[in-house]
């Protein structure tokens, strides 16, 4: 049976209706007529994947990645970069409208690099091949290259055989200077091949959480600042877009502000805004990231930042001083109920909420909107050609200045 795709959902899947039931269909674009294979059939909806396209969208073109339909990562690689931006914008606007959230205007800030932008990838290794699992499965998809990875990472992949790994996983991180951290999880200890370290800038190799070559961290540079980043510490994967966000949000802060940086990671935003404000209070559950953040403040001559290790919902009540504004950059799961409760019971003058998951962002906004109003909501294309988008939402207290 053929189905007409009406629009896309926040996962980048086509939406159609059949016999009064909504259908979510992978690898489909708006206005296309497709046939689908059902992969999950629920009472009120079904999920599936496109088996054939009867009528193609005029947006559809040859994918920039040969594995796009297999691994499910770059769902928008079958359209132009400009069209992918428009699709993401419509997805967010539909999500807001569905939840009756009014935003005057949604701006979209593109990435100058639509390929080769990603400074971190995690690969599966099986039978001496590397690749990805197909989305939501454990079906191994061997690949030869990943076109959204940084050039230094792509170059290393061409010499993957020099790691002599048969099975496991491999995370590769790259910095501004094309130095690489290799994080390996495998029963086999990697061999430090002389040719590998001669051809590539290997900052460190970490095997099963043990550093077996050089260092477990490297130094990242963003604008004029330097950041120590451990192998397992979070850092934004698109350096250019991260820099744009950091530069753009500084306008919200002034010299009298005491700012919470919640889920602060290695202190990127803290260090960036420190010269603009009175004090920054960073909170992060990853203890190595907190050590990095403390070091990074000192490295950049910043003396008005303090960093605290622990879960945000636990630590924030134990700090003996209070902020009037906050930068919040949580994981994809969004804010914990206790954090929401704190922000409701201790209203801040302003919150800059940075989210990599529009669904959980909308969920959290719905809970906060009794206390806060949306000042602005913009999309920063941190993840070109993928379904993901980075949103920056500025929330102001309804009570005015605190």
Mean of all residue pLDDT scores within the chain: 95
Q: Is the pLDDT of residue 66 over 50?
A: yes
If asked whether residues 209 and 279 sit together in one domain, one would say no
User: Does position 401 have pLDDT exceeding 50, yes or no?
Assistant: no
pLDDT tens per residue, range 1-49: 789 999 999 999 999 998 889 999 999 999 999 999 999 988 889 999 9
| CATH code for position 340 | 3.40.50.150
Residue 374 resides in a domain = yes
Q: What is the pLDDT of residue 320?
A: 75
Inside any domain, residue 103 = no
Domain boundary among the residues 190, 218, 246 is at 218
Same domain, 294 and 180: no
Residue 260 lies in a domain: yes
Beta carbons within 8 Å of 119's beta carbon, 6+ residues apart: 150, 153, 173, 174, 175, 235, 237, 238, 239
Q: What is the pLDDT of residue 400?
A: 56
The stretch 50-75 carries a mean pLDDT of: 92
Region 242-258: mean pLDDT is 97
Q: Is the pLDDT of residue 107 over 70?
A: yes
Under the banding of pLDDT at 50, 70 and 90, the label for residue 402 is: very low
179 and 231 belong to one structural domain: no
Same domain, 256 and 381: yes
Reply yes or no on whether the pLDDT at 229 is more than 50: yes
229 with 174, same domain: the answer is no
| H or E segment and range at residue 53 | strand 45-55
Place of tokens 């294309």: 381
Percent of the chain beyond pLDDT 90? Answer: 89
- Indicate whether 34 belongs to any domain: yes
DSSP string, 316-356: TTT-SS--SEEEE---TT---HHHHHHHHHS--SEEEEEES
Residue pLDDT, tens place only, 156-186 = 999 999 999 999 999 999 999 999 999 999 9
Mean pLDDT of 276-302: 97
Nearest CA to 131 out of 122, 141, 139 is that of 141
Question: What are φ and ψ of residue 177, in 5° steps?
Answer: -100, 15
pLDDT digits (tens, 9 = 90+) for 305-336: 999 999 998 998 888 778 999 999 999 999 99
**Stretch 62-71: mean pLDDT, rounded?**
88
- Could you list the residue range(s) of the whole structural domain that residue 177 is in? 120-218
């Amino acid at each position: 049976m053929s189905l007409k795709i009406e629009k896309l959902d926040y996962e980048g899947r086509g939406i159609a209706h059949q016999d009064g039931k909504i259908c979510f269909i992978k690898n489909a674009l708006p206005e296309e007529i497709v046939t689908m294979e059902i992969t999950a059939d629920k009472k009120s909806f079904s999920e599936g994947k496109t088996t054939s396209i009867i009528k193609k969208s005029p947006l559809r073109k040859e994918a920039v990645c040969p594995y796009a339909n297999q691994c499910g990562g770059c769902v928008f690689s079958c359209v132009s970069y400009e069209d992918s931006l428009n699709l993401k914008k419509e997805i967010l606007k539909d999500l807001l409208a569905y939840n009756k959230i009014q935003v005057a205007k949604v701006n979209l800030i593109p990435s100058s690099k639509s390929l080769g932008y990603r400074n971190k990838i995690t690969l599966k290794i099986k039978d001496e091949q590397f690749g990805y699992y197909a989305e939501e499965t454990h079906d191994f998809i061997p690949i030869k290259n990943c076109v959204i990875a940084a050039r230094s990472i792509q170059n290393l992949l061409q010499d993957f055989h020099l790691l002599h790994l048969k099975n496991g996983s491999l995370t590769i991180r790259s910095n501004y200077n094309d130095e690489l951290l290799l994080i390996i999880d495998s029963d086999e200890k990697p061999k430090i091949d002389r040719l590998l370290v001669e051809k590539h800038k290997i900052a460190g190799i970490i095997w099963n959480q043990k550093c077996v070559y050089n260092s477990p961290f490297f130094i990242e540079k963003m604008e004029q600042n330097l950041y120590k980043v451990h192998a397992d510490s979070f850092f934004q994967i698109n350096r250019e877009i991260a820099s744009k966000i950091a530069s753009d949000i500084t306008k919200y802060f002034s010299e009298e502000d005491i700012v919470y940086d919640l889920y602060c990671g290695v202190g990127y935003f803290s260090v960036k805004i420190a010269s603009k404000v009175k004090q920054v209070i960073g909170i992060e559950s990853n203890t190595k990231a907190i050590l990095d953040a403390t070091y990074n403040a000192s490295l950049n001559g910043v003396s008005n930042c303090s960093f605290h290790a622990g879960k945000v919902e636990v630590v924030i009540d134990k700090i003996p001083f209070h902020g009037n504004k906050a930068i919040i950059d949580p994981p994809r799961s969004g804010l914990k109920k206790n954090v929401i409760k704190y922000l409701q019971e201790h209203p801040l003058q302003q919150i800059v909420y940075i989210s990599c998951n529009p669904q959980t962002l909308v969920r959290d906004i719905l809970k906060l909107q009794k206390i806060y109003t949306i000042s602005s909501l913009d999309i920063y294309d941190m993840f070109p050609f993928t379904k993901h988008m980075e949103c920056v939402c500025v929330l102001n207290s309804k009570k005015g200045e605190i």
